[in-house]
Chains A and B, each alone.
Chain A
Amino acid sequence: QKEVEQDPGPLSVPEGAIVSLNCTYSNSAFQYFMWYRQYSRKGPELLMYTYSSGNKEDGRFTAQVDKSSKYISLFIRDSQPSDSATYLCAMSGEGAGSARQLTFGSGTQLTVLP
């Protein structure tokens, strides 16, 4: 079993839809949770960065972390064709050294249709 599980998709939605992307994980030591967006032929771009459980909102994006269920989500409201990309969840523990290494999900490929 992978430490981080993410549905690879592909996921296609019409413009304006609400998109829900999810990851589950097994390592209870994870404390930092991130969502990255990666366009084709580009490096990952950090979208959301949260610590421990709770919600965080930034514009059309909302990140949720439920540590009791080991489940994280990214919601995209009013999705746009420019949101079409691969979305990667990533997480790490606290402390120094190897505890802070990122563990990535496999990525979900999203297409928003105009």
Chain B
Amino acid sequence: SAVISQKPSRDICQRGTSLTIQCQVDSQVTMMFWYRQQPGQSLTLIATANQGSEATYESGFVIDKFPISRPNLTFSTLTVSNMSPEDSSIYLCSVVMPNYGYTFGSGTRLTVV
């Protein structure tokens, strides 16, 4: 299965600022996924990042708020823009590998104050 390195692991940010989260995979993958997990809740898909094309966003998530880059088949970034306390969550990247299912990074715990 894939090994995913995600950073930062946690951050405390001021409202109105932006944070960029990085996700590095040890093998080439076509699709990378970004999830949000709000306190005490399950995972919600934000967007699917494909190399060489615009990310596909789920209902309730927009590119201006969560811009995504996917410069190659092993790397992606998610930016949380103009943050408010409601953005305090764990953000996770994920990839799917044949016969191994979906693997997740260790997550970025974001607190907005």
Residues of A in contact with B (beta carbons under 8 Å apart): 32, 34, 36, 41-46, 49, 88, 90, 92, 97-98, 100-102, 104-107
Beta-carbon contact of A46 and B41 below 8 Å: no
Q: Interface size for chain B: under 10, 10 to 19, 20 to 34, or 35 or more residues?
A: 20 to 34
Beta-carbon contact of A107 and B102 below 8 Å: no
Beta-carbon contact of A88 and B96 below 8 Å: no
A-B contact pairs, 5 of them (CB 8 A): A42-B107, A43-B92, A44-B43, A92-B102, A102-B94
Beta-carbon contact of B102 and A34 below 8 Å: yes
Cβ-based interface call for B106 (8 A): yes
**Pick the contact of A101 from B1, B48, B101, B107 — CB < 8 Å?**
B48
Chain B residues with CB below 8 A from A101, complex form? 33, 45, 48
Given A49-B101, A92-B102, 8 more A-B residue pairs with CB atoms under 8 Å apart are: A42-B107, A43-B104, A45-B104, A49-B100, A88-B43, A101-B45, A102-B43, A102-B45
**Pick the contact of A42 from B31, B96, B106 — CB < 8 Å?**
B106
9 residue pairs, one from A and one from B, having the closest CB atoms: A49-B101, A43-B107, A43-B104, A43-B106, A104-B42, A106-B42, A44-B104, A104-B43, A34-B101
A45 to B103 CA separation, bound complex (whole angstroms):
7
Cβ-based interface call for B7 (8 A): no
A41 to B48 CA separation, bound complex (whole angstroms):
23
Beta-carbon contact of A100 and B31 below 8 Å: yes
Q: How far, in Å, is B25 (CB) from chain A's closest CB?
A: 14
Cβ-based interface call for B15 (8 A): no
A42 to B106 CA separation, bound complex (whole angstroms):
5
Known: A100-B96, A101-B48. A43 touches B105 (CB 8 A): yes
Residue of B nearest to A44 (CB): B104
Chain A residues with CB below 8 A from B109, complex form? 41
Beta-carbon contact of A32 and B42 below 8 Å: no
Chain A residues with CB below 8 A from B33, complex form? 101-102
Question: Taking each of B102, B103, B104, which has the highest tally of chain A beta carbons within 10 Å of its own beta carbon?
Answer: B102
Beta-carbon contact of A105 and B42 below 8 Å: yes
A107 to B107 CA separation, bound complex (whole angstroms):
17
Q: How far, in Å, is B105 (CB) from chain A's closest CB?
A: 5
Residues of chain B from 86 to 100 with CB closer than 8 A to chain A in the complex: 90, 92, 94, 96, 99-100
